[in-house]
Chain A
Amino acid sequence: MNETLFLGARLLDPASGMDVTGDLLVREGAIADLGQAIGSPEGVETVDASGLCLAPGLVDLRAAIGEPGAEHRETIASAAQAAAAGGITTLCALPDTHPALDDPALVQFVLRRGEATGSITLLPYGAATKGCAGQEIAEYGLLQQAGAIAFTDGRRAIGSARTMRLALSYARTFGSFVVQHPEDPSLAAGGAATEGELATRLGLPGIPAAAEVILVARDIALARLTRGQVHFAHVSTAAALDLIRAAKAEGLAVTCDTAPPYFDLNETAIGDWRSYAKLSPPLRPEADRLAVVAALRDGTIDAIASDHQPHDADDKRLPFAQAEAGGAGLATLLGVTLARVHGGDLTLLAALDLLTARPARLLGLPVGRLAKGAPADLVLFAPDRAWQVKAGQLPGKAQNSPFDGRALEGRVVGTWKVGRRVFGA
């Protein structure tokens, strides 16, 4: 019988609030037992986890993977390698690939490629509109049957209010939701940095923070109109978070995530033309970063996603405005989130909740918890182990980390997917 016993771990289950030192037994890919003094079956393989934290494998709501179409940047296999090193066991892939995932066969292709890695559950989004072009809605029913987890145009905003209205209404038919990249396309066009003093000094075309606020406000109104469910990705401004907080209080089906750059960095990271810190949406002033931290604390933000976007050196070693936006984020997702725990902004359980149970609940998945019978998707990490992010030495193919040089505390020691070790010696 295939059994693994973790001994003396700090068991962390955000869903139940459990935080105890104990053992955890995995049998046939599922959690068989956990707690104190659960006993040791004969012949079991043991993992000495004393001094380490054992938590559910991370559930990442948002990653743009190079495959299909940009395999020179990243393949599904290399993304899976980086995800495993980051403690991620469930990864949602954006559909704005080449071709866009607007056909059931393409969704099935990505699912198969994910399964072939054996190390992650890769869940593709279906395109919200055909070709992710923002015009006609895609075949949500067929895409969902093929395995699409929800619907989005990925890194492109659905700019037309009419199209968004139809998408929200139609997704509701299938009990699904629409993920929006909240940035008004006409205000954001050509922009490279948040409009303000720094962009003015650097001579960079600016994107006003209002570009995010406008689309969030509009889509909240459309959620009210359609009774559909909208999820805002990588929310980064204080004003947009205020709107989402109010919409939730009103009882609308509105959720959101943010990504580590928006609570760990501010716009000064692009000083000296650091194109690795060019992101979409662009990094914001410190006041917005603080508002994102506050919204993580008060529950307005439902999840922390990696917002991983692979780019190679040719995409980034360009004059700033010509460089591609987006940063690699899989391997640093846990470490950068733990910085907010070490900084006293979040408890360890609250931080893990945002990385596991809450995104799993949003997607309706049985993962993201340490409980008897749950799939044994696990991450073992040393909460205080120091390391430094070094572009060029990250796992996987994509090395374009906006955190290059950042010193972190908290490192993944091992990752298990349905009971099988997929990362760590």
Chain B
Amino acid sequence: MSIRVGKTGNEAVAEAMRQINPDVVAAYPITPQTEIVQIFSSFVANGKVDTEFVTVESEHSAMSATVGAASAGARSMTATSANGLAFMWEIVYIAAGMRLPIVMPVVNRALSGPLNIHCDHSDTMGARDSGWIQLFSENAQEAYDNAVQAPRIAENPDVKLPVMVTMDGFIISHAMEVMEILEDEKVREFIGKYVPENPLLDVDNPVTLGPVDLQDWNFEHKRQQAEAMRNAKPVILDVASEYAKLTGRKYGLFEEYKLDDADIAIVVLGSTAGTAKVAVNALRAKGVRAGMLKMRVFRPFPAEEIADALKHVKAVAVMDRSDSFNAVGGPVFVDVRSALYDVDNGPKIVNYIYGIGGRDVTPDHVKTVYADLAKIAETGQVENPLTYLGIRE
């Protein structure tokens, strides 16, 4: 039996961390992540977890301490947002390159500058090529579910990669919703005991981790890292299927919402998927065949599966909550369009950049996107490949 509770996204993820009971957590406060670590620190103080909790002096140190702990063989976690993730940057790549199965909730916030504390995806999108698995969440329930599944994915011997579990700052992190959590024993049984491979604390079998790796073998190690990311896809699905048996909540690489017979569809990540469902329902009531694809797994990028899911659609809009400043379009758009390249007579595809710096996006905004798509589907002509949705200038 699951337990129904009212929790904010931050509370839900802190609860998942308590149930995971990591050996080490090292973290530094930053809005809007702060509460996760603050709540977790009370679990530490009240003896609810066995975790060694390190309040470091910066995010660079937070990720460094987490990497050190993971190298020693500890199940290790941290959490951050925006500039905190940016300040970790050097060690974020090292965590992936050293194949350390760290789990890190990232509460999405706009990356400075200009300084802004509200939601967009510029922080984690910047880290999309860092070698971390990235799981996006629509609401607190999904953030919790992703956090519980993350250690199993990260620690799988075929994967051994760090995982970011994201949720939209404030919109999810600070808003309370009714959700279900598992009993502690079920979570602990699900994630199992962590058996590290070649830990530094196995003093009878000394190893060196992270030494200089030059022209001789660096290339091979990087190719193996890429293979691990490919391996992650079936592992994510296996873990999700096992989790569905436990909870009844089914997760895939993405969610298809009324997509089967859709003529027009949007691709979206995070909380806006919930907003888009409202718009889809309203349009469906009027007979418009609108659908949606909500990405859960952005890294590894499920290119073939997305191409297969969208190939019958006439017009697709990819909604990006960050800009890549590549003078083409947002990061999700670029990947989705690339995935559709080999589809014969595939859909027309356009990009909407929205919600930057916490700009609100409503069902009405999403409906205008569908209206644009309906026109494209009808005429076969794309007038605006890129639109800044809800811009005030």
Partners in one complex: no
Which residues of A approach B to under 8 Å, CB–CB? none
